[in-house]
A = this chain, B = another copy of it.
Amino acid sequence: MRLTRYTDYSLRVLIHLALHDDRLCQIGEISRTYDVSHNHLMKVANALAQDGFIQTVRGRSGGMRLARPADQISVGEVVRRTEEGFELAECSGCALSPACGLTGVLAKGVQAMMQVFDAYSIADLLTDRDAMRRLMSRQPVLGIGMS
């Protein structure tokens, strides 16, 4: 049972921006922090901007920041936007689904999970900001001039 990589990376980008909410951040530093491909993160950042989670500032000294305070972005909202679907099994293609109770039980399970995610904001995930920043600073810088 997994969230898509796209949801995973979206949450990581938002966590990074929330940790550095005093300045603009670049894709390059997020890529280094998480050891995740620059191109993947570019796509994720574009989608997060389209969905209104982040703002981007173009240009040499540009970057990204959260579009709203981190305590106003719930984990549930992000997961709802980024996951492709919430049908846990392929019930829609099953001959028995019109009369089978499985679809409803799986949906109740997802609902219970999403209620938990709705109860937490991105800010709630930064339980130890200082420790998280220290862990970030330990990540190797892979190249000079990466932005």
Residues of A within 8 A of B (CB): 1-5, 7-8, 11-12, 15, 33-35, 75, 83, 85-90, 93-96, 98-102, 105-106, 108-110, 112-117, 120, 124-128, 131-132, 134-136, 138-139
The contact of A1 among B83, B105, B116, by CB within 8 Å, is: B83
B105–A109 CB distance below 8 A: no
Contacts A34-B95, A99-B134, A100-B125 given; 7 further ones with Cβ under 8 A?
Answer: A1-B1, A1-B2, A1-B110, A2-B89, A3-B106, A101-B125, A112-B116
Q: Least Cβ distance of A113 to chain B in Å?
A: 4
A98–B135 CB distance below 8 A: yes
Q: Least Cβ distance of A111 to chain B in Å?
A: 8
- Complex-state Cα separation, A113 to B116, whole angstroms: 10
Contact (A105, B117) CB under 8 Å given A99-B135, A135-B96: yes
In the bound complex, residues from chain B placing their C-beta under 8 Å from that of A94 are: 12, 34
Q: Least Cβ distance of A136 to chain B in Å?
A: 7
Q: Least Cβ distance of A147 to chain B in Å?
A: 20
B120–A113 CB distance below 8 A: no
In the bound complex, residues from chain B placing their C-beta under 8 Å from that of A109 are: 113-114, 116-117
A105–B120 CB distance below 8 A: yes
